Amino acid sequence: MPLFYTQNINETTRLAVWHITEPEAFFNKIYIPRHEISHPHKRLQHLAGRFLLCLLDAAFPVNKIQLDGRRPYLPDNSYYFSISHCSDYAAAIVSRQFPVGIDVELVAEKLLRLEKKFLNEPEQLLIRRKKTNLTMVSQLTLLWSTKECMFKWYAKGNVDFRKDMAIKDYTLTGDAEGIASAHFGKEVDASCTTQFRFFDNLCLAWLAQPPH
């Protein structure tokens, strides 16, 4: 079942996650990349992300996407959007209303070694004091994914994950979903409320809110 999760956040903001099981030709019906992507699996992920944008909104002008470095954008700003992929999964969020960011990550042990690179001291304390059913590696994945979606929401790049973002708390609101509250402090002071959801060993985080 390729499309395995969708959520309507409001009338003009939607997200979806796709499990990639199709060959490239399936996605090429919608979109053909304009730049060379030599690695076949990376090309497939890229195609699946663009495909999802069109699935979320049939009028999405996917062929008008430009790149600022690796960051995709539409010159006429007709939509806010964000894409993420990992392994055989792609996720996308589209909004007519709010800047957005999305991230999808596999829950992976490697984050146990990387914790200090992306969490500041208060966050390292928070994760140890937190009373939750989530494992340490799930919590780390959740916090990494949360910071990645905030990075994409901000869109201007050059963000220090330890200094410019501070996750204040995170709470499960259901069996596998929840919200995180955070502060984004580069150039601006913004309070962010991100959302997350686990699907087995996959973690999805997203943010859709007014600009900083």
Per-residue mark of binding to ligand COA, 193-212 (x: CB under 6 A)? --------------------
Is 151 a binding residue for ligand COA by CB under 6 A? The answer is: yes
Say which residues have a Cβ less than 8 Å from residue 148's Cβ, sequence separation at least 6. Answer: 84, 101, 103, 105, 205
Is 155 a binding residue for ligand COA by CB under 6 A? The answer is: yes
Instruction: Count interface residues toward ligand COA (CB under 6 A).
Output: 19
Question: Is-contact 146 182, C-beta < 8 A?
Answer: yes
> Which of 157, 173, 187, 191 is close enough to bind ligand COA by CB under 6 A?
157
CB of 83: closest distance to ligand COA in angstroms?
A: 4
Is 118 a binding residue for ligand COA by CB under 6 A? The answer is: yes
Give the gyration radius of the chain's Cα atoms.
17
Nearer residue to ligand COA within complex by CB, 39 or 131: 39
Is 46 a binding residue for ligand COA by CB under 6 A? The answer is: yes
CB of 185: closest distance to ligand COA in angstroms?
A: 15
Phi, psi of 111 (to 5 degrees): -65, -20
Within 56-115, the residues that bind ligand COA by CB under 6 A are 70-72, 83-86, 103
Point out which residues bind ligand COA (CB under 6 A): 46, 49, 70-72, 83-86, 103, 117-118, 148, 151-152, 155, 157, 159, 161
